[in-house]
A and B are shown apart, each in its own frame.
Chain A
């Protein structure tokens, strides 16, 4: 009988199981321009769909306005569905109430409600599975234009119209991306600098290139700034930026050190 030395090493056989990847079917030749979907996770959405354009008509007399977002659908029911809204410059006069998912304007006749087209406003629906962002436009028509003053109309596009628009967008995007590769070689992004600050409190901000500002830019910046200033006065703080205002431009002072 062979005695086993206590210090003798024991040999253990470890089997390493190498799992070969599942056979992947050779991808079929797909027509150019189509997108291959790698995964399909059901994400929260609206039912019915969120309108692409929300149109508001300004009024002469004080009148409130509200627009309730469509009901949300959480396909997995895997967590609390959160709705976040980024109103961009329109945050000056539009408020979003998360309790009842409603966009609200307290007074349509107010001077703070600036007419114009507010693009790329975003609604993000997020649950534990992921999040999905929807974009819409807000068209604020001046008083006297349009048929129904004070009424908001949400443009709901038909399937054909949606397809037509998406085709146009895809085409435009393809053209833009083709152009942008050549443009970035030549064109430089504009830069800005504070050219001078005068002793009488005037600051000149200068851009290196000719800019294309939205028509109501001056009013938008001033309205945001006034709102911020009022908030900071109410809160008795030195804050120059309010949390609920989506600022376009911020200014603050850094104190010089001796």
Chain B
């Protein structure tokens, strides 16, 4: 599976790596996921700031399942960026609505209705159907809202 990568940023606790897949649609395309394996081949360069101790030799290999990948495009980039913001705003919005309704003694039926519908929708990925990456991305935003 051809891919290349580079490191976009490093700070004291994290390294952010960008992965560029030749065929992103082939990543984790079936029910079992492909995994990303990272290996620190020179542990001596990975030392903690306090004591200068190296990363444990036996722990220098780490893996993580990769979700389905979006095909890089402007739409995908915008979706991801907007989705993050909208998800958070909707989450706060629902919380504020709840508090306002409770304080002003309005009916909460509309809010409960929305949450009930969302809770049904977010269970769809549990069905044995392979969803594309963009649909899964939207479900992740819905989960953020429904589990406020």
Contacts and interface: CB of A to CB of B under 8 A. Distances in A.
Interface residues of B, number: 67
B9 A248 contact: no
Interface string B107-135: 00000000000000000000000000100
Interface string A197-238: 111111111110111111001100110011001000000001
Contacts of B63: 194, 254
B62 A193 contact: yes
A253 B37 contact: yes
A162 B141 CA distance: 64
Interface string A123-162: 0000000000000000000000000000000000000000
A257 B35 CA distance: 10
Contacts of A212: 12, 47-49, 52
A205 B14 CA distance: 5
Interface of A (DSSP majority class): mixed
| Most chain B CB atoms below 10 A, which of A202, A209, A211 | A211
Contact of A238 (B2, B35, B56): B2
A175 interface: no
B93 to A, nearest CB: 24
Interface residues of A, number: 53
A86 to B, nearest CB: 11
Given A202-B16, A214-B45, A218-B7, A189 B55 contact: yes
A184 B53 CA distance: 9
B33 A199 contact: no
B101 interface: no
B34 A248 contact: no
A99 interface: no
B28 A191 contact: no
A14 B65 CA distance: 71
A199 B17 contact: no
Contacts of A213: 10, 12, 45-46
Interface in B60-112: 60, 62-70, 72, 76-77, 80
Contact of A255 (B1, B80, B136, B137): B1
B6 A217 contact: no
Interface in B6-60: 6-10, 12-21, 24, 27-28, 30-42, 44-56, 59-60
Q: Which of B3, B15, B39, B70 has the most CB of A within 10 A?
A: B15
A250 B42 CA distance: 10
Contacts of A210: 12-13, 48-50
A204 B137 CA distance: 18
A210 B136 CA distance: 34
Nearest to A203: B17
Contacts of A238: 1-2
27 contacts: A183-B53, A188-B53, A189-B55, A190-B54, A193-B62, A194-B36, A199-B133, A200-B69, A200-B70, A201-B70, A203-B38, A206-B13, A211-B12, A212-B47, A217-B45, A218-B7, A222-B7, A240-B3, A249-B41, A251-B38, A252-B36, A252-B39, A253-B27, A254-B35, A254-B37, A256-B28, A256-B65
